[in-house]
Structure 1
Amino acid sequence: MNSTALILAYIGVVFMVGLAGIASAIGTSICGQTAVGAMKKNSGAFGSYMILSALPGSQGLYGFVCFFMVQGLLTADITMFQAAAVFGAGLLVGFVNLMAAYYQAKVCANGIAAIGNGNDVMGKTLILAAFPELYAILTVAATFLISNAVA
């Protein structure tokens, strides 16, 4: 059993799931705070606020999905090469999703504020919020490719 390799891989998983989860918590909180302020002006648009507030929550799910992709490698027989791949995937997923959720939250929060001021920007905000989401999705694809390459 290669304890060092297994520990390295699990540190990668901590980054993968932990940072992505933290990212979603921060992102949804930013949007939720903005939604509360917007409801003071326009409480009738709560559905739009809720949808936009939920979008940054997807990054935490991506981190969890990526964990399932690498879970099969987390055995006592893991090699240092495989562990380094899991660690690298963990850093990739964790940090990209952290940034994607934060900046997606900023887009969504601005959309929520605009809707609260009476502007009809829900659809346009969803389109703009999809851009940071794309990079979070790419980390899932990269993790899939990495895990298959070292399996």
Structure 2
Amino acid sequence: MSLAPPFTAETAHAKVKKAQNLWNTQDAKLIAKAYTPDSIWRNRGLFLSGTQAIEEFLIKKWEKEKNYRLRKELFAFTDYKIAVQFWYEYQDAYDGMKWKRCYGLEDWTFAEDGRMRKRQMSGNDIEISEAERWYKDGVDVNEVDISEAHW
């Protein structure tokens, strides 16, 4: 199955899960290859462009965000665009290793070859306790019940 546009419901869902699994590797160099050389990003209040800048951003991200675990779910799609909801948890190395969860949305636009040429991310972090964690060791992030009851 091709994960290049134009997307169908099946290929859009598969593209989201492939991105989720790739980001969970925390391999900045490998992840950066999924973006076009001139890809543009907005990550919260930060704007950057190009795979080198993306790789550098991700390296810094995971210097701070330890024990990172991410889940992405398809929100909407068109032929060349995908919107996702995401939730990730991490320990903040710059804030006493406190557990945090980020809730957010992303807007992705793809090139014909299937690499992402634009990514806009909006997210909010909240501090959580150990008991509030969803993605504990041994838990499949895809099996966690993400519902309003957990918010």
Q: Same fold (TM over 0.5)?
A: no
**Structure in which a larger fraction of residues adopt strand:** 2
Larger Rg: 1
